Structure 1
Amino acid sequence: MKKVLSISTAIVVTSILAGAAVTNGESSKVKLTDIDTHWGKAAIENAVVKGYVDGFEDMSFRPDNQVTKAEFIKMIAVAIGLKNGDAGIGSWYAPYVQSMKDAGILWGTFSSSNMNEPIKRSEMAAVSVHAVDINSKATMLEATSMGLIQGKSNGDLDEEGVTTRAESVTIVERVLSKRKGQPLPVDQAAVAAAEIASTGTNMKSMVGLTPTDSLGKWFPIAQGVKVKFEKVIIIDPMKPDPNFNLIDLALKPPFVKLEDTYVIATQIRVLVDSTADKTGNFYTMQTIGLLDSEGTVRAVNKFPGLVKYDKPAEYIGWISNYHLKSPMATGKIAYAIYDTQIDLGIHK
């Protein structure tokens, strides 16, 4: 018994935002011995002039030293002008922590954790987002979308990585700009990476499609067999990012130009249990093409694979192919399983 999984897609292309940097006319008065050639020089000088961070007694700033949670919290609290509590109670940072808690910027276990530990980039992002919008969910996706956080390289978020003094003041400067309503440059690759981490897809930031609640859900396809579409990642071959390794260049049709295409990579998981028909199999056929307004596929490429039902097993893997960037008035990413169509991304 042979079964077919077919896939059809259509996408819409959107544009990217840009923003402006912050400067301070008094920064030339700052005399630090180790920042002249450092990438963070302007932000460091602004921060020292504004008074929310200082250099050391030897007139150094030590821009590449790690920053603790306490140090970053103090920077934010002072920079946004929070009134501190009793400085005579507890550790040196207690008044700053309390003022941030009172303002609703710190929450739960974060505000009671070891404040002398280096702050992670994910924690820095959460605090920064809350400092801009107290009603936010304090997610990395919000932080990247606001322009508060940018990727390390090619959009890599490095959420567990630590933060330097230079990076910290750069983030605080962005927080101050955002609180004034000023636009910030947005690292679109970082937004896409945060999107994938939180939603399983980057289709919103890449092509303007809205993911549906079908992404990540199980769907029965036969007795004892079910499938889940875990991730849908859209990749621009001309802009390598951390997902670039999902592209199989051997699959590129010879007549397709890389600059004219996206690659749509989909992660699929299939579970076969003991009740499945052991003589059956699951034959996949990837159909990726352009859909017109009537839903007719105009271009098709196939990528075969086979899953047998002869024993209980779990299968997971990626299927990918090239898709023209041609804009469309409407579009979606839809998977047809037998007679059922599952929409994973739609254009609103």
Structure 2
Amino acid sequence: MESKTIQKRRLLPVIQAIVCLCLLAGLGSGAGVRSVSADGGQAVFKDTATHWARPEIEAMVSQGILDGYPDGSFRPTEPVKVDQFVKMLILSFSEQHPNQERSWRSSFLDSLTEENRTILKQDYRYFDFKPAMTGYWAKPYIDVASDLNFLNKSRYSDFQANMTRENVAELIYYTLQETEYLEDAEFSLSVARNYGDLTSGNERMQRFIAESLIKGIMEGYPDGNFGVGRYVTRAEALVILTRLTDKSKRIPMKPEKDQLQRIVPASTGSYKIVAFPDQKMLDMYDTLVEAGKLRGTNYNLLDTTLRLFKDDKEKQAVLNASSMGNLGASANSATAKEEVALWLDPAYNTYGITVRLREGTLARNKEAVELFGNRLFTYEAIAFHRWFNAICEEVEAGHSIASKQAEVGGYTVNLLVDNENKTVVFSIATTK
């Protein structure tokens, strides 16, 4: 009968082989660092059990956005590199399937302009979300981010450098510009100025930081600073990307009490805060709301522009074009078919009326335009409306009218005329 020592020696290689196979199977499937449920149980990583960003870390790791290390750690305070952040950004807009393959999220594709959707369909038809196997590993992610205008390659001399907070803010800014909308610049800067180190950045950088703050995607530190020059950690990067891709996770921003601010509807069904230069323009925003209701349901108030439509058919056609990236009320836009646009430009303290003249335009929108003019010009409103109607009737009749300027009731009115398309723009600013 063999001794127990000999038996143990014979079993040892078998046990070691079984252990190795189990480890290989776990690492191959990615389960080696995320096999434990994060739903209120044991931490997935040995160094994140009490970390403030544990929920975001475990959620994003489960989606394949970023992995932990073979030793079971995540290293949440380790700086993230530029190329790593770009990769994480791109993967955040995709979803991972059971077979580990990825595809773009439908919500992301819907948020893009038609031009960017075409770029993905044509130039990145076979994009597989995987690193390059030859050459620089991050090239596929950097290329697609650049072509979607999320970043400018020339801005980075070294993609393997640590990512600073202002670098992240810039990337967030341009991503939002392509997928959502930008907040009111004046309001954003007014909030950002509360951070002590904001002025250490140039004007361009301040704009990026302000946008990331007002959107509730980034936040400052307890010491009252934004952290200009500081590196973004792996944990911070995942929290930032979580807020970017999931609006419900963002830090809500409210208008400041006793300030000239108002929450207004923005694109994609969201809302934004606009800061007005004075009480007059704030009151005129309320006038836009009233003027729209005079047209029943044939209007759309977005940001600080009220668009008035001939009927519901025209309204739906314009809104559908807008959702495809053609939003705008420019006189020469082939897709902007609203009859009248009443608008405010808080950044330049300017008011305006844009009219596309065709049969019945003036009659259908008479009440709305008169309400806007009466509230703006008050005692001089009659003089303005006489001039307004005379110009519109001439252009509608096909008579060529030159652009000109006039003074009405303390305002300078610049008249811009597109005779070919029978479009008239009255741009109104306080006379200085």
TM range (shorter): 0.3 to 0.5
Relative contact order (alpha carbons < 8 A, sep ≥ 6): 1 or 2 greater? 1
Which of the pair is proportionally richer in helix? 2
Query: What TM-score does the superposition give when structure 1 sets the normalisation length?
Result: 0.43
